[in-house]
Amino acid sequence: MRNKSGGKLIALTLILVIVFTAAAGRIYRCYFAPLVNYSPYERIDFEQAEQRTGFRIPLPTYLPTGYVLEGIYMYPTPENAAKVTDAKLPPRPPFETFQVVFKRRTNVLVLRLYGGDTRSEESRANTGGDIPVDFGLSGESVNVNGATGLMQSDLDERSIFGTEIHSRLVWRLPYTSTKMTNLKALFLALESDSLCQSDLLEVAKSVR
């Protein structure tokens, strides 16, 4: 009887270990794995970001229910780049790229700088209008506060946190910079793993 009882106890213990291990793995994947930064970007404060970009970081005044600001990320500065192990940083673009991250549990919404627009009105008319043809972007044309944007869906990409990106909206936002007097506007991109197109559009319309 003792052997049988002992065997049952061991079997029950093994079952409990397996169940708790599986549960812990699921909790990690759902709540902690999406927080791991798989990119060479570093989290900085907004004051530093604005000093580096030369303009106030545009932010949405509207967010879908449950989304909160997580932070802003930029490429490490030269003095910090050495601290990023095996970062293999790509060449820094002409504009200091930033990515503002918003989260709702495991869902991610990213507002990032896609580029800067220094074209004259004549050049804009000859290069595709609000979204330059040399961007090579395809998607559905949408109106973002009077500007033409491009909505992309059914994407299979990754955010800077390694989470999936299924939809993206790229549009032109008039903007100026103290560092670049010829800057006319910013090209911004909103990327999401779960928001519908109408939600992305509402967020984009609220960016100031």
pLDDT tens, 60-88?
999 999 999 999 999 887 655 444 444 44
Query: Is the pLDDT higher at 149 or at 177?
Result: 149
Q: How far apart are CA 167 and CA 189, in angstroms?
A: 10
User: Is residue 62 classed as helix, strand or coil in its secondary structure?
Assistant: coil
| Predicted pLDDT of residue 50 | 92
What is the band of 15 on the pLDDT scale with cuts at 50, 70, 90? low
pLDDT tens-digit series, residues 118-161:
899 999 999 999 999 999 999 999 999 999 999 999 999 987 76
pLDDT tens-digit series, residues 159-170:
776 788 999 999
Q: How far apart are CA 50 and CA 18, in angstroms?
A: 49
What is the band of 41 on the pLDDT scale with cuts at 50, 70, 90? confident
User: Global pTM?
Assistant: 0.76
Contacts of 126 (CB under 8 A, 6+ apart): none
CA angle 142/127/124 to nearest 5° reads 75
Q: How many angstroms from the chain centroid is the CA of residue 129? A: 25
| Predicted pLDDT of residue 111 | 97
Is residue 91 predicted with pLDDT exceeding 50?
A: no
What is the band of 189 on the pLDDT scale with cuts at 50, 70, 90? very high
Tokens of 78: 């030269």
Tokens of 86: 């095996």
Residue that is written with structure tokens 């990106």 in the block:
165
Q: How far apart are CA 41 and CA 84, in angstroms?
A: 9
| Predicted pLDDT of residue 22 | 47
Q: Chain-wide mean pLDDT for the chain?
A: 81
Query: Is the pLDDT higher at 26 or at 168?
Result: 168
Cα radius of gyration rounded to whole Å, the chain: 23
Amino acid at 83: K
Is residue 36 predicted with pLDDT exceeding 80?
A: no
Run of H or E including 113 = strand 107-117
Is residue 207 predicted with pLDDT exceeding 50?
A: yes
